Structure 1
Amino acid sequence: MQPRSRLEIILATLDFGPIIIALSKNNEQRRGPIGYRIEAKLNALIAMRVYNMSSFTQLVERLNHDPVFRYDCGFEAFGKVPSIATFSRFYDQLANSEALHELFKQQVKEAETMGLLDTSSIAIDASKVDANEKSVPRKDIKDDGQSANWGSKLDTNGNQITWFGYKLHIAADVKSELPVALSITPASTNDGIMAESIIKECSDNLNSKPQYYLMDAGYDQKSIYELIRKDYKAQAIIPLNHRGAKEPPEGLDWDATPICSAGYRMTYWGGSNGVNKFRCPHVMGKCDCPFGSSWCSDSNYGMVVKTRARQDSRLFTVPHRGTSNWKLLYNKRTGVERCFGRLKKHLGLETGLNVQGIKKVKTHAYLSVITMIASVVAINKNKSSSAFIAA
């Protein structure tokens, strides 16, 4: 017997039962020209992402010329296969049903149960998705929250890029770099506006609750800090966007470190439960204040200042900005960028986007992320089985 193919191993981890039931109920009278099974067509769409195919034409050609591939997808090894039009109609049905969301949620929970996700830190970001349709002038754009639009943002090198299409918003686990929540919006949608819905979906999809949400300066909005602190009992790790300010807030440095009455940065002395503690820099040997510690305090311990998140959750974070712990957490945010990179390079997030309309683009994104998680789940299940057999 031949060993199982990569596609077989991946498909074995997916349970299409709920999708099949949903599509069958909604389309009882529309089964396709020769009644191809829904499961086989779903398998074929996943196979497109596994082998990074860019169109239904490629898929049908592979099905016609490769009997093993055809059999792995669930079609008869020497029988007929669906046409391009059949796959296109099925894709429309799948997009309108939004049934893939539950399968994605199911995959996330399985990965968490298997210990593949750490979930203590979640990175959130957005990436451009070019539309596979003719661009239109800005003045003719339909600002309905559904149509493709013009977007603009800085890339990782600080260059301004502009595109016509959509944005893919993703929350990714920083340990596995797997997506745990996603959304598709027109390209003009501000990243910060989507933060609330992405965080909510992330919380709904995971059994455990994240401690930190990591985002770039584009999400630096006080409402996001407040939401994460009050509603999710977690901490937002976001660089401050000073928005052209010429001076830091009164009594603070640019990173929200208190400034003593003599004009020196106070020394961070730890934090917990939303409170950071700072001590006199002269007593701590960080500066040689001409007034000494007695200028601010009669105690040999020196003056102490505490900042509290409830005073201003945007400025005052635990751990404090600029500390090694804060930097260590923020550096993990690059995990979501690598997640985007794999989706685009290996799973056809951009090159395989031969569809139009936000519903179909979202379906394409779900197929890509479901395939990514299923691949990791399959690899780890295969390793466990091999270890069991060896034992």
Structure 2
Amino acid sequence: MTIIRQPSLFSIQELYEMEPTHRYEAIISAIDLDEIYHEVAKKSRLGAPEELNYAAMIISIFIRYVERIPTIKDLIKRLNEDIAFKLNCGFLVSDNTPSEASYSRLLTKLCETEILEKVQEKVVLQAIAEGFIIDDTIAIDATHFEARDQAPPKEEKPKIEPKKRGRKSKDERDQWLIEQAKFEANLPIFEKKIEAQLDVPLAKLRAEVPQDPKWGVKKNSEGKNLAWFGYKGHLAVGTSSQYILQSLFSSGSLNDGKAAIPLLKGVDEQISLSSLNYQTMDAGYDYDPIYEQVHQMGNQSVIAYNKKNEGEPIGFDKHFAPTCFREHSYRYDSFDAKYETLKYTSPKECNDCPLANEGICQKVYKVKITSDLRRYTAPARGSKAWKNIFKRRSAVERVNGYLKEFFQLNNVRYRTGKRAKVHFDIVTLIYNASKLAADRINALLNQQQAA
């Protein structure tokens, strides 16, 4: 009897059970350390010479997250007490262990550059080139994590003078509209309505994201409001590969929907993924401009609908499928990509309907998704295909859980938003590097089994 061997499923958890030397080498080899070193190393021959081993310091900062070492102080203690660990980080026996101040200066240099984002992009592109990312669906969601410092005391709001009763005159209203337009035009991009982001370049959007710790509120699984003081991490995750394809760091007060377009533009402009078809999100992203951005990318939106006090349209069900004369819902049949048209066929109940031969109800109903991108999606809302794609959204929640449980996302040790962003960028970079390392080992094991 022939024995069929199942393909290996080497995971991140198994990667972390490897010997430290092999684990560090597998993860660090997925990161372009030379580019980071070139960015932070001294570029002038003038001034005092550098005696620090910057390359080893960078590796040790990354390994701190791999080993879940809580603070830089604990990292230095480990380097002083464990010579094998020190050598695994790339230090020589003769190298002095860097001080906390030296590590702080290194992190400051990282704050002043975008090198971590560039290296993150290279890891994703390398995973695509090696065939590990072939997703057809991306899931987008946000996760919160608290700042190190406690929230400042709440400021008392100034008393607002009561508005004058009665309608404004035409001249007063025109003047008010002019002032309101000027006020909104001068607002930062992330305080404007979401549609203002559609025509803004990606680089400008990312540069203007608010990063200071702020109060944020979100409903938990029980439907209760959960408040925290800190930050948000916004992720676009491949639902089958579970790589972080795009990430965005922001203040905790930023609305989730306002981070969607920067993430989508990043996917569209920075990642060449021909297999991509769908973008799935929860009801917090149910805004017309987000559907428009997905449509501009040539993808389809699978986003939960938020009624927002809207009544159900007459002649349609809750999923916007047309209904017959007796209010039975038409069945979703197919989507014509060439004409961007949904096709519905008559309900099953119409087979025995006495009005079937009266010409009252049509047998086939077609509607273009561009007539209302929010209501009409491909596949159609409520269909089995739509539900199956929407279930894939759990991938981004799973990745959020990994970042908090295994990669210290919750362990922010810095007081400023810029330093906290470096922490977030390192966490997402180490996660993706660990994924790539695990996939490479998995591929090697499969090759050995096939041989």
Pairing of 1:136-151 with structure 2 (within 5 A): 136-139=152-155, 145-151=210-216
Match of 1:373 among 432, 436, 439: 432
Q: TM-score, normalised by structure 1?
A: 0.89
Structure 1 residue matching 2:376: 3-state secondary structure: coil
The answer to whether structure 1 residue 362 and structure 2 residue 421 are counterparts is yes
Q: In the alignment, what sits opposite 2:70?
A: 54
1:127–1:340 contact (8 Å) kept in structure 2: yes
1:222-271 deviations in Å (ceiling 9; x for gaps): 11111111x200011101100133x2123221111112233222222222
Pairing of 1:210-225 with structure 2 (within 5 A): 210-225=276-291
2:76–2:98 contact (8 Å) kept in structure 1: yes
Give the CA deviation at 1:28: 7.0
217-226 or 148-157, larger mean C-alpha shift: 148-157
Q: In the alignment, what sits opposite 1:292?
A: 356
Pairing of 1:1-391 with structure 2 (within 5 A): 4-24=21-41, 35-77=51-93, 79-139=95-155, 145-209=210-274, 210-229=276-295, 231-245=296-310, 247-273=311-337, 274-281=340-347, 284-285=348-349, 288-297=352-361, 302-351=362-411, 353-385=412-444
In 2, the alpha carbon distance for the partners of 1:173 and 1:362 equals 22
Structure 2 residue matching 1:5: 3-state secondary structure: helix
C-alpha change, 1:342 and 1:30, in structure 2 (3 Å) is farther
C-alpha change, 1:241 and 1:186, in structure 2 (3 Å) is same
Question: Which one-letter code corresponds to 1:14 in the other structure?
Answer: I
Identity of aligned residues (%): 27
Give the CA deviation at 1:154: 1.5
Give the CA deviation at 1:99: 1.2
Q: TM-score, normalised by structure 2?
A: 0.78
C-alpha change, 1:30 and 1:225, in structure 2 (3 Å) is farther
Structure 1 residue matching 2:228: 3-state secondary structure: strand
In 2, the alpha carbon distance for the partners of 1:305 and 1:3 equals 62
Give the CA deviation at 1:195: 0.8
Structure 1 residue matching 2:371: 3-state secondary structure: coil
Give the CA deviation at 1:176: 1.8
328-337 or 34-43, larger mean C-alpha shift: 34-43
Unaligned runs of 5+ residues in structure 2 are 1-18, 158-190, 192-208
C-alpha change, 1:48 and 1:222, in structure 2 (3 Å) is same
In 2, the alpha carbon distance for the partners of 1:67 and 1:140 equals 55
Question: Which one-letter code corresponds to 1:255 in the other structure?
Answer: H
Give the CA deviation at 1:290: 4.7
2:301–2:378 contact (8 Å) kept in structure 1: no
Structure 1 residue matching 2:366: 3-state secondary structure: strand
Structure 1 residue matching 2:150: 3-state secondary structure: coil
Question: Which one-letter code corresponds to 2:277 in the other structure?
Answer: Q
In 2, the alpha carbon distance for the partners of 1:102 and 1:116 equals 19
In 2, the alpha carbon distance for the partners of 1:26 and 1:249 equals 65
Give the CA deviation at 1:272: 2.5
1:31-68 deviations in Å (ceiling 9; x for gaps): 89x62122111101110110112110111111111111
Structure 1 residue matching 2:413: 3-state secondary structure: coil
Structure 2 residue matching 1:259: 3-state secondary structure: coil
C-alpha change, 1:264 and 1:215, in structure 2 (3 Å) is same
